[in-house]
Structure 1
Amino acid sequence: MELDVFVIGGVGVDTIVRVPSLPLEDVETIHVQPIESYVGHTGHGVVLGCHLLGLRTGLVDVIGDDLEGRQIRRLYEDLGIPFAGALHPSGTRRAVNLVAPDGRRLSLYDGRHPPNLKVDPDLWRMPILRSRHVHVSIMDFARQALPDLSAAGCTVSTDLHDWDGHNPYHQDFAMAADVVFVSAAALPDDAIEWIFKHGRAEAVVVMAGADGSYLYARGLEPVHVPPVQLADRPVVDSNGAGDAYVAAFLTTWLDGDSWERAAAAGSIAGAWACGSAGTHTDLITAEGLAALRRE
């Protein structure tokens, strides 16, 4: 099967705890709403978002032979999305996300895999050759795939999340991608220039939450993309909004649209994701995105 978007790494299980406020009170017990768990994390959000937007997608990752790993496999079977998992005794990644009433979150991330984890490259080598585009999550093991991606000649994207512009962990990913997504949260002023100077990026997208996003395309003036507010869909949970943005951006760009239109589509998809509780529980569909873009 040929794939439009193939994702390497980034699936796990999120436990969502809806708390009365952030930061939490310094008390012994806080009563909360029912606690729910969902298949989530960044790679899953991208692959599911692109799938719902009409692309052929697939994902590979390292998981455990545990309850969470089996939950992931069942979901991907139900969705009909190709998934291959290399098993590791450290188990499946998890996170506990505390979500405030205004949608803000604090994520307690349990990556659990040991540093320098080595994975059989056959996990990704054949899918890469059958894919138009590859999105690489910043899992340490996925670093091993970067030379294969360069040799395959496919376009590549990555999300550096809250990179501070200096942490060397992220640099290999930043240099290997044609499209780089990154949060504005800790990003210094010189980071965009560094990515263009040292890597192959044609576009860098800085996601700034309630301030929208900023699009930097090689050779063009930067563009501020304002945030989108959707009528009758207030913000309840920001979990997965960035992944939804990435999925809509990639889908639009791969369809031949401009960087600007891709960023505008990402803004709509991110705003839509904020209107549902949980992680990736109600990502926008191709029909929904098309309808909102016409408004």
Structure 2
Amino acid sequence: MVSVDVFVIGGVGIDTIVRVPELPLPVRETIRVEPIESYVGHTGHGVVMGCHRLGMDAGIADLIGEDAEGDRIRWTYEKLGIPFTAVLTPGGTRRSVNLVSPDGRRLSLYDARQPQYDGLKVHPDLWRPDVARTRHVHVSIMDFARQALPDLATADCSVSTDLHDWDGVDDFHRDFATAADVVFVSAGVLPDDAIGWIFAHGRAQAVVAMAGADGSYLHVAAEKPVHIPPIELPDRSVVDSNGAGDAYVAAFLATWLDGRSWREAAQAGSIAGAWACGSPGTHTDLITAEQLMTLILKELSTD
């Protein structure tokens, strides 16, 4: 019996945001910065939060540490009413330090808590009960999440993943790329033949290459690629790009799962990503379903 719209496997941690005067940083011993803040964040959190804000029933499962950061994550999900299943590990909760320039660009210093998490065997009860009752599973590219892929191959649900800055070569990403119906990836270092490889070797129906300020590129199997232009929100200037890609993914999935076209899903993702850039921090003000629909209608009226 389906009772969850989107279930996310992996990808929650703590982001520390440092707003710096410029990127790259000047070569100095000391740089004065704005107050440093930390947030519950990372990619899986952004997707589950984005779906939750868009009115979907969403849950998440992950590995966290027996530490203050893990306690903060559990408290946050309890407060939000988002179902969270966790396995506690001695490796500690994942963290990152994100440097953000005045124009919203970021440099992420990701502490993956390695090597404690690599090769860690996890009991499948972390995901199996939720996979059995969800419409869609989004898999973060955590090493442990690879263990869920065989179950997803036979489950009665669709699957997505975000390969982030995959270079088309690194073997770590390939299992995830071939296991998903919808694949998101950064266009930054992606070689020309990588998207064709995903279609040829996996089950993908659509691949979305996200290109930041250049918008995104929608690739649907057996169709010509479509460029989705970036969205500018005049009343919401760019201050922080942290979490924009996750917001894109959430809105894309919400729209597609609602029965809309691939192109409509990508356009909704562009709007949600632009909206996320208008607030400081990570996932602090993600778009709601009402706000998204208002902006979609506004875009349609100007076409």
TM over 0.5: yes
Q: Describe how 1:234-245 pairs up with structure 2 within 5 A.
A: 234-245=237-248
- 1:127 matched to which residue of 2? 130
TM alignment of 1:12-91, pairs within 5 A: 12-91=13-92
| Structure 1 residue identity aligned to 2:294 | A
CA separation in 1, counterparts of 2:254 and 2:266? 11
- Please give the alpha-carbon distance, in whole angstroms, between the structure 2 residues aligned to 1:146 and 1:116: 15
Q: Displacement of 1:114 after TM fit?
A: 2.9
Q: For 1:197, which of 194, 197, 200 is the aligned residue? A: 200
- 5+ residue gaps, structure 2: 299-303
Q: Match for 2:250 among 243, 247, 252? A: 247
C-alpha deviation, 1:220, in angstroms: 1.2
Out of 224, 228, 239, which is 1:225 matched to?
228
Q: Give the whole-Å Cα distance in 2 for the aligned partners of 1:105 and 1:206.
A: 19
Q: Secondary structure at the match of 1:62?
A: strand
DSSP 3-state at the match of 1:85: strand
CA distance in 1, matches of 2:84, 2:52: 13
Q: For residue 87 of structure 1, report the CA deviation from its aligned partner.
A: 0.5
Counterpart-to-counterpart distance in 1, 2:155 and 2:107: 38
The CA distance in 2 between the partners of 1:118 and 1:280, in whole Å, is: 30
Give percent identity, aligned residues only. Answer: 72
Q: Give the aligned residue type for 1:20.
A: P
Question: For 2:66, what is the secondary structure of its paired residue?
Answer: coil
Secondary structure at the counterpart of residue 50 of structure 1: helix
Matches within 5 A, 1:160-199: 160-199=163-202
**Which residue identity is paired with 2:142?**
M
Deviations along 1:232-258, one digit per CA (max 9) or x if unpaired, are 111000000000000000000000000
Give the TM-score normalised by structure 1: 0.99
Letter in 2 for 1:268: I
Asked if structure 1 preserves the Cα contact closer than 8 Å seen for 2:209 and 2:217, the reply is yes
Give me the whole-angstrom Cα distance separating, in 1, the residues matched to 2:118 and 2:70.
Answer: 20
Q: How far apart, CA to CA, are the structure 1 residues paired with 2:252 and 2:101?
A: 27
2:226 partner amino acid:
V
Q: CA deviation at 1:193?
A: 0.4
Shift of 1:77: 0.4
* Offset at residue 166 of structure 1 (A): 0.7
Write the deviation string for residues 215-240 of structure 1: whole angstroms up to 9, x where unpaired: 00012111000000001111000000
| SS in structure 2 of the partner of residue 116 of structure 1 | coil
What CA distance in whole angstroms lies between the structure 2 residues aligned with 1:151 and 1:200? 12
Partner AA of 1:181 in structure 2: F
Aligned residue identity for 2:51: C
> How do 1:91-130 residues align onto structure 2 when only pairs under 5 Å count?
91-112=92-113, 113-130=116-133
Aligned length: 295
Tell me the SS of whatever aligns to 2:86. strand
Provide the secondary structure at the position in 1 that maps to 2:63. strand
Q: Which runs of 4+ in 1 moved over 6 A?
A: none
Q: Which amino acid aligns with 2:97?
A: V
TM-score of the superposition, structure 2-length normalised? Answer: 0.97
Match of 1:256 in 2: 259
